[in-house]
A and B are shown apart, each in its own frame.
Chain A
Amino acid sequence: MNRVAKSDLILRVTNLYKTFDNTIAVDGISFHLARGEVLGLLGANGAGKSTTLQILLGLTTPTSGQVHIFDRDLSRHRISILQHCNFASAYTGLPTNLKVWENLLIFAYLYQVPHPFKKIQSLLQLLQIEHLKNQVTGHLSSGESTRVHLAKALLNDPELLLLDEPTASLDPDIADKMRKFLRHIQQERGMSMIYTSHNMRDVEEVCDRVLFMHRGRILVSGTPAAITDHFQSASLEDAFIRVAREGDQFLSP
């Protein structure tokens, strides 16, 4: 594959701050992402996960701090960076009265995918949703719609894929299939991923490393197992609950 990122560091975030009026959404975080790594952002509601992703996508401008993706400054090379990134979330939609293949075709054109029809066909096969090709997007169930969104997110063979709660609203069976699929495709392509989820199963199975966020700061980072140990909890879920309830005491002043 012809990669844009020259070094093995896909993403570098330095001293990132974001305040909205009186809310500090992101409070001076720094982290990086290596090629082929899957990073999970974990944290309670309002911890700053989505805001961080939005900044990485250039949708929201940071109050201060730097973001470098593929060794380029995001604030200056947004369009060329976005060409090699993609995004999916349970909270976005696609035009409802278009057929699935039409929506995918438009995004394939937007990302200037070579051989768009072939690419769409192969992704539909990969995600086992070929039968939905001619369905009207607005009529899909949430599980089907999630897979269509993932197909959209994979159209340009992104080197960096950002997922904001992609498995929200999926039943456990489909969620399990999605996790396995994501892990498989990620490993096969050496794709780097940032993943937010409130499902600890997701995080344990998909993420190599986790950033535990609390009130806009990173409390701790490590493998899911290391995080569980760090908080002396029985499981990642217990650690999560502990941080959500007593998180303030772990914040360094």
Chain B
Amino acid sequence: MNLYRITALVLRYTFLYTRSFPRVLEMFFWPVMDLLVWGMLTQYLQSAPYQVPGFIRFLLGSMILWDVLYRSQQATTISFLEDIWARNLMNVFVAPVRLVEFFMATFCVGMVKILITVAVLTLLSAAFFDFQLFSLGASLIPLFINLLVMGWSVGMVTTGMILRWGQASEALAWGIPFLLQPVCAAFYPVSTLPQWLQPISLAIPATHVFEGMRDVLAGKGLSGFSLFYAVGLNCIYLVGAALLFRYFFNQARHRGLLAKLGTQ
């Protein structure tokens, strides 16, 4: 791994994302919209007679943390798509760039983008709905990191699929996280899921993060158990995703797709 080349790629995304108003706007538009809609809905629900105590905190906490996962995946996949759209993929891959360097760069840029988005959401949710994300305390850090890392894994897999099946599979880039959303118990406890789905849910790192978050918000503190599962599963998936990407990448080289994706 070469730090110099990673910096070069990070610089590239920095130019790319700061130069373009729509790209900057995209960092805030949907998250802020979601926050406002869900925040107001729960405010309304809380004024109803049968309220769940502290419901708004669970929901907004989930929403912001979900965004960490979603945007972490997006940062990786969209960075790759940007090169396809610009017909620049070939230029990048004929440069002496290792895959690990390519991904490290997208991870770094993704992290910065997410921190900015989360900062804005945190401010807004505090201002409008009196929800303090920092009430999660120090637990926020491991929760955040675990979602970030899971986003990397999902991002690598979706990127690999685009590489293998072409731009037609671009929809996967947007869609796959939403396939995970209902299963990973982002907005409700695992126990709400049908019995048969629960083991699948528990095999997803994010499930343990969201369960952990609810525990913390309910004043129970982050269980070492949740954290252990989240970290363990993340390690397994990260390695699995890297291997899967390698496989897709080699398939693409075998089928001559690297050159085709870059130029059509």
Q: Which residues of B contact A82 (CB under 8 A)?
A: 94-96
Assess the B93–A79 pair: CB atoms within 8 A: no
Q: Which of B51-88 contact A (CB under 8 A)?
A: 82-83, 86-88
Q: How far is the CB of A119 from chain B (nearest CB, A)?
A: 14
Assess the A97–B16 pair: CB atoms within 8 A: yes
Q: Which residues of B contact A59 (CB under 8 A)?
A: 90, 93-94, 253, 256, 258-259
A106 with B96: in contact, given A20-B255, A92-B263, A93-B87 (CB under 8 Å)?
no
Does B15 lie at the interface of the complex (its beta carbon under 8 Å from any beta carbon of A)? yes
A61 with B254: in contact, given A54-B259, A95-B82, A97-B20 (CB under 8 Å)?
yes
Q: Which residue of chain A has the shortest Cβ distance to B19 in the bound complex? A: A97
Q: Which residues of B contact A25 (CB under 8 A)?
A: 256
Does A117 lie at the interface of the complex (its beta carbon under 8 Å from any beta carbon of B)? no
Q: Number of A residues whose C-beta is below 8 Å from B?
A: 36
Cα distance, A160 to B250, chains bound together (Å): 25
A112 with B16: in contact, given A59-B94, A95-B82 (CB under 8 Å)?
no
Assess the A92–B90 pair: CB atoms within 8 A: yes
Assess the A80–B96 pair: CB atoms within 8 A: yes
Cα distance, A109 to B13, chains bound together (Å): 14
Q: How far is the CB of B163 from chain A (nearest CB, A)?
A: 12
Q: Which of B224-264 contact A (CB under 8 A)?
A: 250, 253-256, 258-259, 262-263
Q: Which of A77-119 contact B (CB under 8 A)?
A: 79-80, 82-83, 85-87, 89, 91-98, 102, 105-107, 109-112
Q: How far is the CB of B45 from chain A (nearest CB, A)?
A: 43
Does B135 lie at the interface of the complex (its beta carbon under 8 Å from any beta carbon of A)? no
Assess the B5–A96 pair: CB atoms within 8 A: no
Q: How far is the CB of B164 from chain A (nearest CB, A)?
A: 14
Does B115 lie at the interface of the complex (its beta carbon under 8 Å from any beta carbon of A)? no
Q: Which residues of A contact B12 (CB under 8 A)?
A: 95, 98, 106
Assess the A109–B258 pair: CB atoms within 8 A: no
The SS class assigned to the A binding surface is: mixed
Q: How far is the CB of B27 from chain A (nearest CB, A)?
A: 16
Q: Which residues of A contact B255 (CB under 8 A)?
A: 20
One of A18, A87, A93, A105 near B88 (C-beta < 8 A): A93
One of A60, A92, A94, A109 near B11 (C-beta < 8 A): A109
A92 with B253: in contact, given A80-B96, A98-B16, A109-B4 (CB under 8 Å)?
no
Does B7 lie at the interface of the complex (its beta carbon under 8 Å from any beta carbon of A)? yes
Assess the B87–A60 pair: CB atoms within 8 A: no
Q: Which residues of A contact B2 (CB under 8 A)?
A: 112
The SS class assigned to the B binding surface is: helix
How many CB-defined contacts (below 8 Å) exist between A and B?
98
Q: Which residue of chain B has the shortest Cβ distance to A63 in the bound complex? A: B254
Q: Which residues of A contact B218 (CB under 8 A)?
A: none
Chain B contact patch, size range: 35 or more
Q: Which residue of chain B has the shortest Cβ distance to A107 in the bound complex? A: B95
Cα distance, A85 to B91, chains bound together (Å): 12
Cα distance, A93 to B186, chains bound together (Å): 40
Cα distance, A249 to B93, chains bound together (Å): 38
Q: How far is the CB of A95 from chain B (nearest CB, A)?
A: 5
Q: Which residue of chain B has the shortest Cβ distance to A21 in the bound complex? A: B255
A95 with B259: in contact, given A60-B253, A109-B8, A110-B9 (CB under 8 Å)?
no
| Central interface residue in B4, B9, B83, B86, by most chain A CB within 10 Å | B86
Q: Which residues of B contact A112 (CB under 8 A)?
A: 2, 4-5
Q: Which residues of B contact A93 (CB under 8 A)?
A: 86-88
Does B97 lie at the interface of the complex (its beta carbon under 8 Å from any beta carbon of A)? yes
One of A60, A80, A85, A109 near B259 (C-beta < 8 A): A60
Assess the A110–B97 pair: CB atoms within 8 A: yes
| Central interface residue in B9, B95, B253, B255, by most chain A CB within 10 Å | B95
Q: Which residue of chain B has the shortest Cβ distance to A90 in the bound complex? A: B263
A83 with B86: in contact, given A51-B256, A54-B259, A109-B5 (CB under 8 Å)?
no
Return the 7 tightest CB-CB contacts between A and B, nearest first: A109-B8, A93-B87, A91-B263, A82-B96, A60-B256, A110-B95, A106-B12
11 A-B contacts (beta carbon < 8 Å): A54-B259, A59-B258, A60-B258, A92-B88, A92-B262, A93-B86, A94-B88, A106-B8, A110-B5, A110-B92, A111-B96
Besides the known contacts A92-B262, A106-B8, A111-B95, 15 further A-B residue pairs in the complex with CB atoms under 8 A apart: A59-B94, A59-B253, A60-B256, A60-B258, A82-B96, A89-B90, A91-B87, A91-B263, A92-B91, A95-B15, A98-B19, A102-B15, A110-B96, A110-B97, A112-B4
